[in-house]
Structure 1
Amino acid sequence: MGKRLLRFAFRACVVLAAAFGGFVLAGVALALATGLYIYYKEASSFVPPDEAAVNQPFSGARIYDRNGQLLYEFVDPLNGLRRPVKLDQISPYLVAATIATEDANYFANSGLNIRGLARAAWENLGPLTREAEDTAFQGTGGSSITQQLAKNLYIPLEERGERSISRKIKETVFALELTRRYSKEQILEWYLNQISYGGIYYGVEAASEGYFGKPAKDLTLAEAALLAGIPQSPSSLEPVSHPDAAKARRDEVLELMRRMRSIRIGGARHLFLSDDEIDAAKAEAVVTAPRQFTLRAPHFVFSQVAPQLEAMFGPDAVYRDGLVVTTSLDLNMQEQVQQILEHWIRQFEGVSNSRNGASIVIVPRTGEIVVYIGSRDYYREDLAGENDNLVSLNSPGSSFKPFVYLASFLKLGWSPGTMISDSPVSFRESNGTVFSPRNPSGGYYGPITVRNALGNSLNVPAFKTAQAVGVADVVEMAKSFGFSTLNSFYGPSIAIGGVDLRAVDLAYGYAMLANGGVMAGQKPVVPHEPGEREVDPVSILRVETQGGEVLYDADANRAEKQVVDPEYAYMITNILTDPGAQCLTFGCGGVQVPGYSVAVKTGTSEPFDPRGPNARKIGETWAFGYTPDAVVAIWAGNSDNTPITNILSTSISFRAMRDAMIKLYAGAKQTPFVPPPGLVRSNACRRTSIAIGCSPDLVLARDFRGQAAAAPASPEQEAPPPGPTAAANEGVQQATAGGASLGAPPGAVSVNAPVVIRGTAAVPDMAYYRVEVVGPNGATMPLGQWTTPVVNGTLATWVPTVPGSYTVRLLVVGRGGQAAVETFSVRVN
């Protein structure tokens, strides 16, 4: 019985043992199967790091001027600054310090920190308290370099803080896949370009430039050790805000490096460090050069460049795509113009309260913006410095007049010699108010040519011209030039500042005149409305990826459009370059640029209260100067529309424009204005109730309807003054017979020989008479203005100095606005 029991017990034990062993083997098999299933399930979602990185932001766009000077680098506040580099562009000290600190067995391990994995498992399964856990796994360290890379690339941000076995499994699988598929050097390069180094810096290159102002390849041992210590706790070890903690951590890293002595840094290469090198590095103070983020030409970057980049590449492009952008701006030129503008604002701000300014310079032949100053100082809150006054709507004053007269050339066939009556006129506005424009002098000049009306910036003739053309036609033409803020609800005061425009649009309009009626630039990034301009100025020359792939090239997107015939554009230019056409308002040549032939137009906004006690308070002043090489525009005023006083357009605006133009040329030769072949000089013109006569000047060889223009008229053929009906329609009283007469033309005269001009200048209640000479180039030279009537006597004396054909003109004006004009022609040999 006892033996049987013993044998049974033995067999039972064998059976139980076999059964238990089977269960164990089955459990092991099940565990292996489960592990393989989990591994392949996770591994199936693995994508190459380059593809995974696509979903992570690159660094922000870097904006450069045309000469490679950095203007600004956009930084996404949520994703920081990134600048990937190759491993061979990283200091060996940094590589060694990172390995000694993060993963001493990096080049020998499988990509995993086994003890760290055990710790993660115990945290999820083990019964120990945190204190017991820390004792049990003391010295286990954290994740390997490969695991950290896997976490940064593949684990969503919101899951990275979890200490769970599921997250660790995913991290482990991806780390093993990285190790299986890629070299250790490649993994290390990715890691060093991904890890956070505190602040806004992601990747060692961004951190090196941000903290030390140098590329990562130039880091010293001490600097490398400091950076290598930051990833343990980026927020508390960031060296600018926490220099003591950063130094202590740096010294820990150096001791880890001392302990290893020889640190493998790639392939068969090792870095050997002596005690002296370590000690010397520890003795160095922590000296950082915190990066001052460059922001130059801020209004240009934010108002012009960024919106175009967003339109071309999407709303997040400036922050996430790592674009390298070369712009049209010339930073050196920008700074020179900025200094000039600042100088003249300072000269006048005390007496005028004009405390801000803006400027833009455009190259007419290309449409490229080379200077863009939106305000005096971007950072001055008291000036509302962040406001971009180049795109703000402001009253342009007289600076819009050239475009009104241009419309008269296009729509009515007028020319610079067309005569308009500068006499009182009234206009009833839509609210019933009667508006009567006045000239800057407060008086009237009677019959006056378009040349002298525009050159002297007279308000009444410009107002009448807008009436003659029709405001709707003026607006239609101006919108095609890019003045998109206009509409047809203005009255004739549109010609004298009764409208709001953007300085950048006006400058581009003047660039069209400077370029012979051709609007040059680029195809619009965002198409304009029908009837608006079809070409935009150029701000961006080239856009590339960080790898050098060209995404946009301005040369491939250039555009030109002849929006005005060159003859019309040249007639405006010829007036604005004529010093003799400025004498009444500015003095002859009073708004010219010494040494250069520059077309100049100034402007002063309308008074805040034209009829009241605040009539001297205005909004802003303007000046535009252009040559075939450059357009310079200046705006002066206040961003908050605080009124300015005791100032003219010739104070800040013109002087800044003049000095900027001289500085831009810096002694270089100017490209001359060349008259197009379709122009001749004649006294032929069209007469209407407003265009009351003609003076010898530039006209089209074929007028705007394609008909032949009259040949230059002889004195006998010159059309007589307008009859009573025309004058009455214009509100001008016709002079009495004999009110203005000139003696018989003297025939040919010689250079430097005095010419005595005789005749009669007398009308009832005469205000004055004026004698002028129109030269061969169309320039008008006043001989003088007198208030004493003359009957059959000497009116003036003229000494010609240049040979050619001249016209002598007598203008007699009465106090009631009545006027009479007489002319004769003379040849100077």
Structure 2
Amino acid sequence: MHGTIRQKSGMRRAFNIFIASVVGLVFLMTAGSAVVFAIALMTYKAYADDLVPPDQLAINRPSAGAKIYDRNGTLLYEYVDDHDGIRIPTTLDQVSPAFLAATIATEDATFFQNPGVNPKGLLRAGWENFNPFDDSGLLKGTGGSSITQQLVKNVYIPMEQRRERSLDRKMREIVYSLELTKRYDKAQILEWYINQISYGGIYTGVEAASQGYFGKSARDLTLAEATLLAGIPQSPAAYDPVSNLEAANARRNEVIDLMSRHEAIQIGATMFYNTNLEELAAARQEELTVGTPSFPIEAPHFVLTYVAPQLEQIVGRDAMMHDGLEVTTAIDLDLQYRAAEILESRISEFERISNTHNGAVLVIEPSTGEILVMLGSRDYFREDIDGNVNNLLALNSPGSTFKPFVYLTAFMKMGWGPGTRIQDSPVSYREIDGTVFSPVNPNKNYSGNITLRNALGNSLNVPAFKTALQVGVPNIVSFAKSVGFTSLDGYYGPAMAIGGVDLKALDLTYAYSVIANGGVIAGQDTFAPAKPDERGIDPISILTIKDAEGRTRYDVAEHRREHRVISPEHAYMIADILSDPRAQCITFGCGGLNVPGYRVGVKTGTSEPYDPKGPNAGKIGETWAFGITPDLTVGIWAGNSDNAPIVNIYSTSISYRAMRDVLLAAYGGRPGTNFERPEGVVTRQVCTQLQRTEPQPGDDRQDDNRGRNNRQDDDNRDRIEEVCTTELSLR
């Protein structure tokens, strides 16, 4: 910005010109002229007093939407405002002289001589507007606007008023133009103009247009390119070279014709551009290729459905669209790519036989709460699978994946531990509506008296259901809210322990990351106020926000929070169960959920059947798998966004395999970290006296390899026996 305020040349010259303009317009509209002078004087003063200096307006600031980057600096997306587009401010000395000459020759050949308005243009407009032989109507003729008037229209006149041909708007435009010319030199006005005017499409200002259409700075424009751009402002939509290159080229040739009328075109106070007819003729013949504006997006679910609302809350919508912000996020795009490939491969493998068309992946770093991968669907752009739905934020039945939080509640409220025994035997429960619910295990068998370790490791439904009855559903809900679940606001029965509740995959993964982090929930302050019984901490998506000048507007380091919601001892016990291959033998086979080379806590789940006795018998809603280590938490959902049932599939098919593959990809061959046993956890022999009638198939008295079994020597079928196991316990 030149910022040179010219010495006042007095109001008289500008006022005389204004008087002539007003007389030309008002006299023809009024029967008498006695009050014309008084009206003009009062009107001029009123409008002049309202003029805000342009240097107090944001007309020279960058108008660029926020650029979203991954944690390694790779661009994910750039926001563009539908109205203001992209603007990259420049200065006159950084613009091709050919472009300046083409602009002046086309828009306002007398720019450096006129007082801000073109008197000839005004008279022509006045005649067209008020010619009694012209039936086009009042104020319907051509504009006759100078460059300064066009600048005024774009800066000071609201968008909704720019197409109005009212006398008030025209008077304001004239006065402002005269006053700007009095207060600032022509170079400053021209610089403002080329930075403010629309050049078609999403580009405001010549620098943005030059980079967008031709991939070069405005200082490097050729004559053919310069004349094409100079012709666009007359009608940016009609002469948009992307959508109508033929019309844009025709308009370019008109600009060349206008330039050819001048031997020299003034482009500065003492600078002239000498035209060359041969060069102009060559420019007319040059075929131009323009680039198509392209704003590809990476990690669209993450950017559009998760980051965008948070960014708007931090900086506001206007800054998000105009301030040229650079936003660094926690996402790892390379790992995101790999997760997408894995999910696509695993779904394709089972899609035909299972009717499973979609899936989602979330990876969180437990120690920080940072989101490394957010893949909300198989393909954001596939309409046939509702790909734009972020299934990580959708509510779905979690199946067995909620069980660890049921048992954690029992640990914390009732003093239970991995060696606590539960009777795995038939049970029925009468709901409030009178219906009777009888849960069954995945293998439809019962294991008798079983340790909690084996009950959870084998994902048995009946022990989990009985645990919910004993510990109390309200206690489970309260604990679940504290550990990260945000959708628990209804009435729930004990069936919630085995999937009778709708939860978000994001909340589930975040809650598993708390177990992986030794019972500490890590992240940032929530953007929305949390209720007293809710977590108050969110996973981290945005790391830093910087403005166009490089100043930090936001740094997550100032907002990081940690809060212990599970004792380290109880968190370790659950992680140990989930990572124990010997605790999976009944349902999955011993070691069936192993991740080669790593000690990983694994929990899978399958939503309840749609209708066990109806036409959808045997069909389920979705499958899940979660994998935890101290370094990473991976959550997988597989199903259909429209809730269409799936068949012939297990949680160990798509979900578990995808989880395993993503985890291995994230480690990339690096060694993993094992769960560290807290000092408050010891290994001791846990003995329980049980009354048995007869052995049950799968009773862990016979196959619990974790300890020894002692029976009382009793020949009766009904006997009391002491069953002992070596198990984790609190010190």
The Cα of 1:398 is off from its aligned counterpart by 1.0
Matching residue of 1:561: 563
The Cα of 1:101 is off from its aligned counterpart by 2.0
Question: Residues 373-402 of structure 1: CA distance to partner in whole angstroms, max 9, x if unpaired?
Answer: 111122222112222211111001111111
Matching residue of 2:8: none
Q: Secondary structure of the equivalent of 1:234?
A: coil
Structure 2 CA distance, aligned partners of 1:554 and 1:769? 49
Tell me whether 1:160 sits opposite 2:165 in the alignment.
Answer: no
Q: Secondary structure of the equivalent of 2:683?
A: strand
Superposition map of 1:567-582 within 5 A: 567-582=569-584
8 Å contact kept, 1:576–1:599:
yes
Matching residue of 2:663: 661
Tell me whether 1:94 sits opposite 2:104 in the alignment.
Answer: no
Matching residue of 1:342: 344
**Identity over aligned pairs, percent:** 56
The Cα of 1:223 is off from its aligned counterpart by 2.5
8 Å contact kept, 1:121–1:165:
no
Structure 2 CA distance, aligned partners of 1:54 and 1:214? 23
Structure 1 CA distance, aligned partners of 2:669 and 2:697? 49
Matching residue of 2:86: 82
8 Å contact kept, 2:688–2:724:
no
8 Å contact kept, 2:579–2:601:
yes
Matching residue of 1:784: none
Matching residue of 2:689: 721
Aligned in 2, Cα 1:608/1:164: closer, same or farther, shift over 3 Å?
closer
8 Å contact kept, 2:299–2:374:
yes
Matching residue of 2:51: 46
The Cα of 1:628 is off from its aligned counterpart by 2.1
One-letter identity of the residue aligned with 1:513 = I
Aligned in 2, Cα 1:682/1:221: closer, same or farther, shift over 3 Å?
farther
One-letter identity of the residue aligned with 1:334 = Q
1:120 to 108, 125, 142: 125
Q: Which runs of 4+ in 1 moved over 6 A?
A: 27-33, 54-57, 764-770, 816-821
Matching residue of 1:190: 192
The Cα of 1:770 is off from its aligned counterpart by 6.3
The Cα of 1:319 is off from its aligned counterpart by 4.7
Aligned in 2, Cα 1:164/1:450: closer, same or farther, shift over 3 Å?
closer
Superposition map of 1:219-618 within 5 A: 219-260=221-262, 262-266=264-268, 274-275=276-277, 277-314=279-316, 318-319=320-321, 323-487=325-489, 489-612=491-614, 614-618=616-620
Structure 2 CA distance, aligned partners of 1:825 and 1:151? 84
Matching residue of 2:17: none
Q: Secondary structure of the equivalent of 2:602?
A: strand
Aligned in 2, Cα 1:279/1:589: closer, same or farther, shift over 3 Å?
farther
Matching residue of 1:72: 77
8 Å contact kept, 1:472–1:488:
no
Tell me whether 1:639 sits opposite 2:604 in the alignment.
Answer: no
Q: Secondary structure of the equivalent of 1:341?
A: helix
Counting matched residue pairs gives: 688
The Cα of 1:170 is off from its aligned counterpart by 1.8
One-letter identity of the residue aligned with 1:634 = I
8 Å contact kept, 2:448–2:696:
no
The Cα of 1:63 is off from its aligned counterpart by 3.1
Structure 2 CA distance, aligned partners of 1:647 and 1:825? 36
8 Å contact kept, 1:770–1:811:
no
One-letter identity of the residue aligned with 1:619 = G
Matching residue of 1:110: 115
Structure 2 CA distance, aligned partners of 1:183 and 1:670? 67
Structure 1 CA distance, aligned partners of 2:53 and 2:679? 66
The Cα of 1:469 is off from its aligned counterpart by 1.2
Aligned in 2, Cα 1:92/1:569: closer, same or farther, shift over 3 Å?
farther
Matching residue of 1:177: 179
Q: Which runs of 5+ in 1 are unaligned?
A: 1-26, 684-693, 695-718, 725-733, 736-762, 775-779, 781-806
8 Å contact kept, 2:108–2:146:
yes
Structure 1 CA distance, aligned partners of 2:718 and 2:150? 90
Tell me whether 1:628 sits opposite 2:626 in the alignment.
Answer: no
Q: Secondary structure of the equivalent of 1:522?
A: strand
Q: Secondary structure of the equivalent of 2:145?
A: coil
Q: Secondary structure of the equivalent of 1:237?
A: coil
8 Å contact kept, 2:586–2:698:
no
Matching residue of 2:7: none
Structure 2 CA distance, aligned partners of 1:72 and 1:818? 70
After alignment, is 429-438 or 650-659 more displaced? Answer: 429-438
After alignment, is 547-556 or 417-426 more displaced? Answer: 547-556
RMSD: 3.4
The Cα of 1:225 is off from its aligned counterpart by 2.0
Question: Residues 543-562 of structure 1: CA distance to partner in whole angstroms, max 9, x if unpaired?
Answer: 34444443332222211111
8 Å contact kept, 1:608–1:615:
yes
Structure 2 CA distance, aligned partners of 1:68 and 1:555? 18
Aligned in 2, Cα 1:562/1:822: closer, same or farther, shift over 3 Å?
closer
Structure 2 CA distance, aligned partners of 1:609 and 1:650? 22
Matching residue of 1:808: 708
After alignment, is 46-55 or 416-425 more displaced? Answer: 46-55
Aligned in 2, Cα 1:386/1:581: closer, same or farther, shift over 3 Å?
same
After alignment, is 410-419 or 33-42 more displaced? Answer: 33-42
Structure 2 CA distance, aligned partners of 1:170 and 1:767? 91
Q: TM-score, normalising length from structure 2?
A: 0.86
Question: Residues 682-729 of structure 1: CA distance to partner in whole angstroms, max 9, x if unpaired?
Answer: 23xxxxxxxxxx3xxxxxxxxxxxxxxxxxxxxxxxx4523x4xxxxx
8 Å contact kept, 2:365–2:372:
yes
8 Å contact kept, 1:446–1:819:
no
8 Å contact kept, 1:309–1:317:
no
Aligned in 2, Cα 1:443/1:89: closer, same or farther, shift over 3 Å?
farther
Q: Tell which has more relative contact order, 1 or 2 (C-alpha 8 A, sep 6+).
A: 2
Q: Secondary structure of the equivalent of 1:653?
A: helix
The Cα of 1:141 is off from its aligned counterpart by 8.7
Structure 2 CA distance, aligned partners of 1:397 and 1:58? 48
Aligned in 2, Cα 1:266/1:586: closer, same or farther, shift over 3 Å?
farther
Q: TM-score, normalising length from structure 1?
A: 0.76
Aligned in 2, Cα 1:168/1:609: closer, same or farther, shift over 3 Å?
closer
Structure 1 CA distance, aligned partners of 2:349 and 2:80? 38
8 Å contact kept, 1:424–1:817:
no
Aligned in 2, Cα 1:629/1:177: closer, same or farther, shift over 3 Å?
farther
Question: Residues 544-592 of structure 1: CA distance to partner in whole angstroms, max 9, x if unpaired?
Answer: 4444443332222211111112221111111112222222222222212
Structure 1 CA distance, aligned partners of 2:255 and 2:700? 94
Q: Secondary structure of the equivalent of 2:50?
A: coil
After alignment, is 98-107 or 631-640 more displaced? Answer: 98-107
Aligned in 2, Cα 1:325/1:825: closer, same or farther, shift over 3 Å?
closer
The Cα of 1:627 is off from its aligned counterpart by 1.9
Superposition map of 1:659-698 within 5 A: 659-683=661-685, 694=686
Structure 2 CA distance, aligned partners of 1:825 and 1:299? 47
The Cα of 1:479 is off from its aligned counterpart by 0.9
Aligned in 2, Cα 1:356/1:50: closer, same or farther, shift over 3 Å?
farther
Tell me whether 1:148 sits opposite 2:153 in the alignment.
Answer: no
Structure 2 CA distance, aligned partners of 1:326 and 1:191? 33
Q: Secondary structure of the equivalent of 2:689?
A: coil
Aligned in 2, Cα 1:106/1:548: closer, same or farther, shift over 3 Å?
farther
8 Å contact kept, 1:405–1:465:
yes
8 Å contact kept, 2:486–2:534:
yes
